[in-house]
Amino acid sequence: MNERYSRQALFKPIGESGQEKINQKHVLIIGCGALGTANAANLVRSGIGKLTIIDRDYVELSNLQRQQLFTEKDAENQIPKVMAAKEKLEAINPEVEIASHILDITGEEIAPLLQNVDLVIDATDNFDIRFIMNDLIHKYKLPWIFGSVVGSTGMSYTILPGETPCLACILNTTTMTGATCDSVGIIAPAVQMVVAHQSAEALKLLVEDEKALRTGLVMFDLWSNQYQTIKVDRAKKADCPTCGATPAYPALSYDERTKTEVLCGRNTVQIRAKRDVILPVLASKLTRLGQVNVNEFLLSLQYEDLRVVIFKDGRTFIHGTDSIEQARRIYYQLVG
Ligand SMILES: [Zn+2]
């Protein structure tokens, strides 16, 4: 037996046969922030065969309080989150194959990345992407573990397409607030509590012990000491456009999704322009306007009172504004 996994294989519900299954499995994690890095670390240490991680962002100083794979150096160098995570994960366990993708999920274009995946873990921080994933995992019939965290509260729920109600069904029956971690803050133990639920469910699915899965939606508040599991068996709607009898997958049907959007609570506008940017060339053009930093993946420019970050594929963040008009004007001034 591989000594690395000996304590995990000693745990009866996993055993050596479960460990062999874990070693063969491919997990996809959507989002590489607080939930994504911690789930990734747990799964890579547990010895999954392959991990794919997708994220659209880069590391900033304000991430370090809770996003456990990142260092101050990653923030200084503005390394894309998936690249910084991949480096640490490979150092933790080189037996795991790790694929990382710097991209924003807008619809079905990520379908090729779902091939040969056994399990998907939700670690994003926004509901637009979650509803796209809700449709995709039903269309491609993949188990999916939802998780969300804000302040000292968190939720998790395991979705099995064809069996359980989908995310849209259960969220219609529970109260949702518009709070995000950028508007009300977040504490690290709330992240770890959600991750504990997600990673445990992941291990059960990877060793194919479906009887052990939790069936309800778990919700907690670590600050006010509340913990509850809500039964959701009856939440499934027969006419649900995602998990009902005749699915239409509504989140996949906007193919021209908003190209420019304000990132909720971040005082940032994202522009999704598809073009190849040759970073060093653009950097030398922009140096006359202000301080430019460039790495292999992106460049950033301090411009007036804004910070502009341009990725290799043309996607751009304008930090310091929530005006789409202003952001577009600046984008055309700088990138053309
Ligand atoms: Zn549904």
Burial of 234 (0-12, 13-18, 19+ CB in 10 A): exposed
Ligand 1: distance of its center to the CA of 43 in Å? 28
Residue tagged 């999954």 (tokens): 48
Determine the pLDDT at residue 256.
46
Determine the pLDDT at residue 259.
74
What mean pLDDT do residues 64-68 have?
A: 96
CA atoms within 13 A on the CB side of 151: 12
Q: Which two tokens stand for residue 8?
A: 């995990």
Ligand 1: distance of its center to the CA of 34 in Å? 27
Ligand 1: distance of its center to the CA of 318 in Å? 35
Ligand 1: distance of its center to the CA of 332 in Å? 41
* Model pLDDT for residues 115-162, shown as the tens digit of each residue: 999 999 999 988 888 999 999 999 999 999 999 999 999 999 999 999
154, β-bridge pairs: 149, 220
pLDDT over 90 (residue 106): no
Cα–Cα distance between 19 and 228 in angstroms, integer? 31
pLDDT over 70 (residue 178): no
Determine the pLDDT at residue 171.
81
Taking the model in full, what pTM does it have? 0.90
Ligand 1: distance of its center to the CA of 263 in Å? 26
